[in-house]
Structure 1
Amino acid sequence: MLNLTRPDGSEPEDFHISRRAVAGLFFTGYAVAAFSAEAAPITTPEDGLVIEKAMIPNGAPNPLPAYVARPKGSGRHPTIVVINEVFGIHDYIKDICRRFAKLGYVAVAPDFFYRSGANLPAMSDLQQIIAIVRQASDVQVDGDVAATTAWLKTQKFTKPDKIGITGFCWGGGVVWRSAMVNPDFKAGVAWYGPLKPLIARAGELKAPVLGLYGGLDTGITAADVDAMRAALKAAGKDDEIKVYPDAAHGFHADYRASYNEADAKDGWARALAFFKAHGVA
């Protein structure tokens, strides 16, 4: 069983996986490099939804692929941009999109690592995965996020003034940064995203962010959380950070050993309420 303990990847001693698990996971679509043999991932059905793959123009030779889940029908809906972990767009991220779609949102998960040509969910070597992830620079990712929101604002099924963003692990850091640089977002929810590189930039936030963190996270420390809270206060920001004392990193990821059902459900409820409170509903 593997347990990702750090937002930008774990050390080799954090992991172990069997050949049987690798073979089985290749077909189930979950991230081989983090799946727990004891996990019972949530599966949200597609009935009542439109599921499609979008190709978003982003100025690159090949456009940005994205998984899209949205309610059936001709109406316009608020949108959540879902930012993946280091494992790319695997079944957990797709299911998050379907969960939002069941609640009346358009949910879109861009594949930020598509330029590598690698199938990250099927990979079991964390060092190889992290090497691919690090090729995606902040500038490149921010550009892909901007291309995504620009595309969303032109779609007949979206409300262009009601766009939020959420992300997990690596994606949680993207949420904080996107709320600083992308004016299209009305609110963001960052699940255990790295804080240290962004603390000095707290004053740049243009949209409110709810941060959800685990008190047992060994990669994002209490000192990091305290420093971000202090930076937000000094900048006059009213962003929220909730810490779950008994939760580890990845506590929302229902396919990992780190999953904490009670805290995951509470965080999800808080996320939905936060989006609603800030006009993304």
Structure 2
Amino acid sequence: MANEAKPCPCNLGDKFDYEGQGHEVSVEHIRAYLTKPPHHTDKAVIVIHDIFGWQLPNTRYIADMLASKGYIAIVPDFYKGQEPWKPSDDWARFDDWRKTRDSKDTNRETDVVLKYLKEQCNAKKIGVIGFCWGGAAVHHLMLRYSEFKAGVSVYGVIRFQEDNYNLRNPTFFIFGEKDEHIPLNQVAELEQNLKKQCKTDFEVKIYPGQTHGFVHRKREDINPEDRPCIEEARKDMLNWLNKYI
């Protein structure tokens, strides 16, 4: 189970023992994990990591899952070579650490990855998903980039997000009912603000009994009680991408 005793906005949960089916590439000033489906496609998804960085096997597992469903998937290093957070780090310094890795400071990396996908992978229809820190980044990017046909913010920490809700294109927000780091009153306020300001399709969905990290930090085989919600959330994420991309 996820270690909910840690004062961390993204529980480590189960670290997957997973090698990955893709490979690492250089995209101008950053590195990225790239994985492709067996057949040609012009659809791609940028996958934005959580605080544990672009090399976490869990995130690469999700990217490979997207590739198996027909998408080019890329996990860029949005920390630009800076160290990701480690479970052994001192949690007292987390806020200072995060200030040097602002989820709103992602435009330059997004620009070079979009260029790479268009020029090197022939992608024409592109979406973006992100987890925790990456979920907050999705909110930021969906405010600014019309290139993203769809976005999925998976337990994006609301206190990391900006106070603007006029999203460019359809965005799906996934939350866990028992997420101690994203209280339900914050989720309700987010939904109300979206209803007031957002002119495109959006959905906010809360999954019963789930804690932070359940979509990519818990394994179905060792967390059987969570399996229905894990599978439902992943299916919902794919259905949203399929609908709009």
Using the size of structure 1 for normalisation, the TM-score is 0.75
1:152 equivalent among 109, 112, 117: 117
TM-score normalized by the length of structure 2: 0.85
Query: Structure 1 regions of 5+ residues with no counterpart?
Result: 15-30, 58-62
Task: Report the counterpart of residue 218 of structure 1 in structure 2.
Answer: 180
1:195 is matched with: 158
Select which of 197, 200, 205 maps to 1:235: 197
- Say whether 1:266 aligns with 2:232: yes
What is residue 206 of structure 1 aligned with on the other side?
168
The 2-side partners of 1:147 and 1:174 are apart by 16
Residue 7 of structure 2: aligned partner: 11
CA deviations on 1:1-27 (whole Å, 9 max, x unpaired) are 86257xxxx528x9xxxxxxxxxxxxx
Partner SS, residue 12 of structure 2: coil
In the alignment, structure 1 residue 180 sits paired with structure 2 residue 143: yes
Long gaps (5+) in structure 2: none
Higher Cα radius of gyration: 1
RMSD of aligned alpha carbons: 2.9
Counterparts of 1:52 and 1:104, CA distance in 2: 17
Structure 1 residues 173 and 102 mapped into 2: Cα distance closer, same or farther (>3 Å)?
Answer: same
**CA displacement 1:129-149 (0-9 Å, x = unmatched):** 665443123453222122211
Q: 1:18-76 CA distances to partner (integer Å, 9 max, x unpaired)?
A: xxxxxxxxxxxxx9x8254xx7x485863xxxx2222112xxxxx11100011245x23
**Paired position in structure 2 for 1:76:** 41
Helix, strand or coil: the match of 1:115? coil
- List per-residue Cα deviations over 1:168-213 (Å, max 9, x = no partner): 111111111110112210001111102245463002x101110010
- Give, in whole Å, the separation in 2 of the partners of 1:242 and 1:72: 32
Q: Which residue of 2 aligns with 1:53?
A: 24
What is aligned with 1:20? none
Q: Report the secondary structure of 2:209's partner residue.
A: coil
The correspondence of residues 96-111 of structure 1 with structure 2, limited to 5 A, is 96-111=62-77
Aligned counterparts of 1:70 and 1:110: Cα–Cα separation in 2: 14
> What one-letter code is carried by the residue in structure 2 that aligns with 1:67?
Y
Same amino acid, percent of matched pairs: 24
Question: What is the total number of aligned residue pairs between the two structures?
Answer: 239
Query: d(CA) in 1 for partners of 2:110 and 2:35?
Result: 17
Using a 3 Å threshold, how does the CA distance of structure 1 residues 239 and 164 change in structure 2: closer, same or farther?
Answer: same
Following TM superposition, where does structure 1 have runs of at least 4 consecutive aligned residues deviating by more than 6 angstroms? 256-259
Shift of 1:277: 1.1
- Tell me how far apart the structure 1 counterparts of residues 194 and 12 of structure 2 sit (CA, whole Å): 32
Equivalence for 2:60: 94
SS in 1 for 2:3: coil
Give the aligned partner of residue 89 of structure 2. Answer: 125
Alignment partners' CA distance in 2, 1:110 and 1:196: 23
